[in-house]
Structure 1
Amino acid sequence: MDIKSIKVDSAVIETGEWVDKIPEMGDLRLKVRGEGNEDFKRFLNKALRNVPKGARHRDGTVPPALMEKIVGEALLETVLIDWANLKSGDEEVPYSKDLARTFLTDKDYRHFRTSVLWAAAFVAGSKEHADEDDGDADAADSYPFPASGQR
């Protein structure tokens, strides 16, 4: 194994970059910071620490619905920076923090949240492997939910 093949760009993880060819998302482009950026880790740690004991399960874990909301807020505040080519019907949807909050915390928009997570993982990943990508953004095996028509 070549150690250079797993090296990441920490500066890009912290500052972010545009990602396109997001599986199952057409021409949507997302500007995101990388998965595991320092602000994300701090936000998540603080949010989890602040969950009251009464809101936790007996074993101390956070209920899944609350965890999804916390992760959505963490993505909003520390990962998603902007988007392009997002539409509602024929209308372009400009980035706004309020809309982003809806798309990242409402379970009915889970595919959007998954796309942000995918893009953040891509930014955090090794750029050596990105060069090997064949550009097949619709490959069903590269995404955590079924390709169109396979549901």
Structure 2
Amino acid sequence: MKLSALKVDASAIEDGQWVGNIPEMGDLEVRVRGLNNAKYRRIQARLIDAVPRAKRQGGRLDPDEQDRITATCLRQTVLLDWRGLEGEDGQPVAYSEELATELLTKPEFRRFREGVIWAASQVGEEQAEADKADEGNLPTA
């Protein structure tokens, strides 16, 4: 494997980028940071450390606690904006922290949360792939 195949766009992971073509999400696009952004890791570690022992089964977090921590991290550090989200009346729904929290935490919106996770996992990869393709198109000396 070439070293260039290991590259990601670190600035996109930390600053975010728009991601579309999210599976099963129609025209929805989200502006997200990458899942491994530094703030995500810090908040996740703090929240995991704060979970009481009673909510740890054999050293593992209770699934409800895992979901709560993931939703909190996504809301605070990953999801920045969206476009293409419509209300039942067909009108665009503007991004708000309150609605983002609802969509990321309520079980009935699990598909949205999974879409955000998928999009965040793509951040940094697309630019790195474009850079690799460009490298292949450069004339040799």
TM range (shorter): 0.7 to 0.9
Q: Report the CA distance shift for 1:114/1:26 in structure 2 as closer, same or farther (over 3 A).
A: same
Q: Report the CA distance shift for 1:115/1:131 in structure 2 as closer, same or farther (over 3 A).
A: farther
Aligned counterpart, 1:104: 104
Aligned counterpart, 2:71: 72
Aligned counterpart, 1:116: 116
**SS of 2:51 mapped into structure 1:** coil
Aligned AA (1:125): E
Note the alpha carbon deviations across 1:74-114, whole angstroms, 9 max, x for none: 00000000000101221211111111111111111111001
Runs of 4+ in 1 over 6 A off after TM superposition: none
Note the alpha carbon deviations across 1:99-144, whole angstroms, 9 max, x for none: 1111111111111001101110000435344699xxxxxxxxxxxx
Question: CA contact under 8 A between 1:7 and 1:126: conserved in structure 2?
Answer: no
**SS of 2:76 mapped into structure 1:** helix
Aligned AA (2:78): V
Aligned counterpart, 1:146: none
CA distance in 1, matches of 2:100, 2:49: 24
Aligned AA (1:71): T
CA distance in 1, matches of 2:23, 2:131: 16
Q: What does 1:34-113 correspond to in 2, within 5 Å?
A: 34-57=34-57, 59-89=58-88, 90-113=90-113
1:5 to partner: Cα distance:
2.3
TM-score by length of 1: 0.80
The number of residue pairs the alignment matches comes to 131
CA distance in 2, matches of 1:131, 1:22: 22
User: Which protein is richer in helix relative to its size?
Assistant: 2
Structure 1: state its 5+ residue gaps: 133-151
1:61 to partner: Cα distance:
1.5
Structure 2: state its 5+ residue gaps: 133-141
TM-score by length of 2: 0.85
**SS of 2:61 mapped into structure 1:** coil
Identity %: 39
